Amino acid sequence: MTHSRLIGGKPKIGIRPIIDGRRGGIRESLEDMTMTMAHKVAELYSSSLRHSDGTPVECIIADTTIGGVAEAAMAAEKFRNNGVGVVLSVTPCWCYGFETIDMDGEMPKAIWGFNGTERPGAVYLASALAGHTQKGLPAFGIYGRDVQEIGNTEIPEDVQEKLVRFARAGLAVATMKGKSYLSIGSVSMGIAGSIPNPDFFQEYLGMRNEYVDASEIERRVQLGIYDHEEFDRAMAWTEKYCKSNEGKDFNPEHLVYSREEKDARWEYVVKMTLIFRDMMIGNPKLAEMGFKEEAMGHNAIAAGFQGQRQWTDFKPDGDFTEAILNSSFDWNGIREAFTFATENDTLNGTSMLFGHLLSNTAQIFADVRTYWSPKAVERVTGKKLEGKAANGFIHLINSGSCTLDGTGLQTRDGKPVMKPFWEISEEEVEACLAATKWYPASREYMRGGGYSSQFLTRGEMPVTMCRLNLVKGQGPVLQIAEGWAVNLDEDVFKAINERTDRTWPSTFFAPRLTGKGCFRDVYTVMNRWGANHGAIGYGHTGADLITLASMLRIPVCMHNVPEENIFRPSAWSAFGEDVEGSDYRACKNYGPLYK
């Protein structure tokens, strides 16, 4: 694909250098330092942040320092004309608070006030944040722990951490705005999350919902509405890397397809993959073929496929398609992973989208299926659990579909990771593919056949599981669990794997325990999880998820992130000392971002 994946420019970060407006000596003495702060932050952002497509993040700095309302309006106009989606104000000094703040109610905003004794940047910070709070415009406050010398232009590490956390979350907010979630098919087996809630998407994410009946898949297959040249290339790649790794058919003899029937299903699931991608983002090749409407796509930043049951009772399942789309590579090479939800679980798809935009990596979609206690493991296998699995684990397993990045066969410093696509090597792609078996789907579940990806995620890899849930009367809430994928003894894995479905991909997850609340033990984490699915991403990203949720006004009902890492708008402190309670009260008070 050579065209841009989604319609709309990538959001930029606007930087507002705020200054004391008094001329005749004060303002003039501060011009250089204030502008230097702005440029230093721009350098930090441009060097450390990328969009999910790999392009560096751009910053737009106001043309002048901002000492009053006229210059604030000039900066706002420049930002509007240059696609700014996130705003940061910086200052080393006292400024005129309400005259200089950013007044856009939908724009994520933060203020960095320099901690120095010569000039009261902290005083302006407190004054401006009070104005934001009084006007109902929540903003993040950034204030360094240690006093700096006035001539020190370096950004302290604690300030850098907050600056980057704010920007990552703000860019995610701005990137989602105006995009679509595409539902292919309808509700899967009564799963509530696969019932799209358009009010949630519109009011909390600024997104629209698009819907395509599953009959469109068969129409495009029968009428050849896909790139035939790409299909040939895709089939050659699939023959080499996937079909050659086809697993044993464990179906009862009367349900085993002939080789000819299996080959036909390989072709069909490859066509489904092309078609689903084209539905999401369009394909100019289709316009050349005379299908101009289909060529447009739905500008979908995320999507999901109903699959079970009406489709899978009749046609091949979506396991291969979902696994490949969610991976950082396919027959066209290494590229950004798509966000694509099994069973059209729109809420888990949204959770995956959050993780993808914050980390720029592929996300695992999985059933939160079984809690295994140390006692149960020893009873079934005769062996004791050790290491990070010693307190038990949760078996994460999807019904045949998972990003191949989830194998853990990408490495950094010799350790398993899931990388942004621009860091992945061809050797790592081949390792992920080699570690994945493709088993014929169980036709007792999937009567139309298909192929399930099967692998075991390498252990000792830090991961974060999250899940968005909708609560009647409350609205959306977010759950977060940081932990690790863990290795199991080979005999233990074999015994557990064969108790569920040996043809499906497995990740064994041990959350980090805190000894209290939902994280007092692994059982409680499993018992308190709000739905049957979870989104799992590489790294411990819970703090970023909490910051993002606060921007969207979504309270976090469960997490194991250290309190010192929680970063929310300063207004949250006005809603009580208890951090969880204040989060709920603040989110309820302000309501959804796009109400």
Which residues on adjacent β-strands are paired with residue 142? 112
In terms of DSSP H, where are the helices of 498-554? 522-528, 542-552
The C-alpha angle 336, 404, 298, rounded to 5 degrees, equals: 40
Cis peptide before 22 (omega within 30 of 0): no
Distance of alpha carbon 361 from alpha carbon 373, whole angstroms: 31
Q: Which residue out of 330, 367, 482, 501 is catalytically annotated?
A: 367
Q: Quick check: 440 and 249 in contact, CB under 8 A?
A: yes
Residue ranges of the annotated binding site for Mn(2+) are 343, 367, 533
Catalytic residue among 230, 322, 336, 343: 343
Is 367 one of the annotated active-site residues of the chain? Answer: yes
Q: How far is CA 118 from CA 26, 32, 122, 150, 317, in A?
A: 12, 15, 11, 7, 67
Query: Tokens 């023959």 — which residue?
Result: 239
CA angle 401, 173, 416 (to 5 degrees): 40
SS3 category, 12: strand
Q: What is the DSSP letter of 201?
A: I
Nearest 5 degrees, angle CA 167-CA 168-CA 170? 60
Pair 97, 128: CB distance under 8 Å: yes
HSE of 289, CA atoms in CB hemisphere, 13 A: 17
- Judged by DSSP in three states, 365 sits in strand
Q: Which two tokens stand for residue 127?
A: 């004054």
Q: State how beta strands 475-485 and 437-440 pair.
A: unpaired
- Residue 343 annotated among the catalytic residues of the structure: yes
Give, in degrees to the nearest 5, the angle at Cα 400 between 396 and 401: 80
| 315 touches 22 (CB < 8 A) | no
- In 3D space, the residue among 466, 414, 404, 464 whose CA is nearest the CA of residue 435 turns out to be 404
Return d(Cα 340, Cα 31) in angstroms, integer: 48
CB atoms closer than 10 angstroms to residue 458: 20
Q: How many whole angstroms separate alpha carbon 217 and alpha carbon 53?
A: 27
Where does 472-565 show beta strands of DSSP type E? Answer: 475-485, 506-511, 533-538, 556-558
Residues in the annotated binding site:
343, 367, 533
Nearest to 484, CA basis, from 397, 545, 423, 416: 416
**What does residue 319 show for φ and ψ, rounded to 5 degrees?**
-60, -50
Residue written as token pair 């989104």: 535
Q: Which of 300, 467, 495 has its CA nearest to residue 381?
A: 495
Tell me, what amino acid is at 75? A
Distances in whole angstroms, Cα of residue 277 to Cα of each of 9, 22, 233, 305: 20, 57, 16, 12
Q: Please, which contacts does 257-264 make with residues 24 or more away whose CB atoms are closer than 8 Å?
A: 257/440, 257/443, 257/449, 261/449, 262/440, 262/449
Fill in the DSSP letter of residue 96. Answer: -
Q: Which residues are catalytic?
A: 343, 367
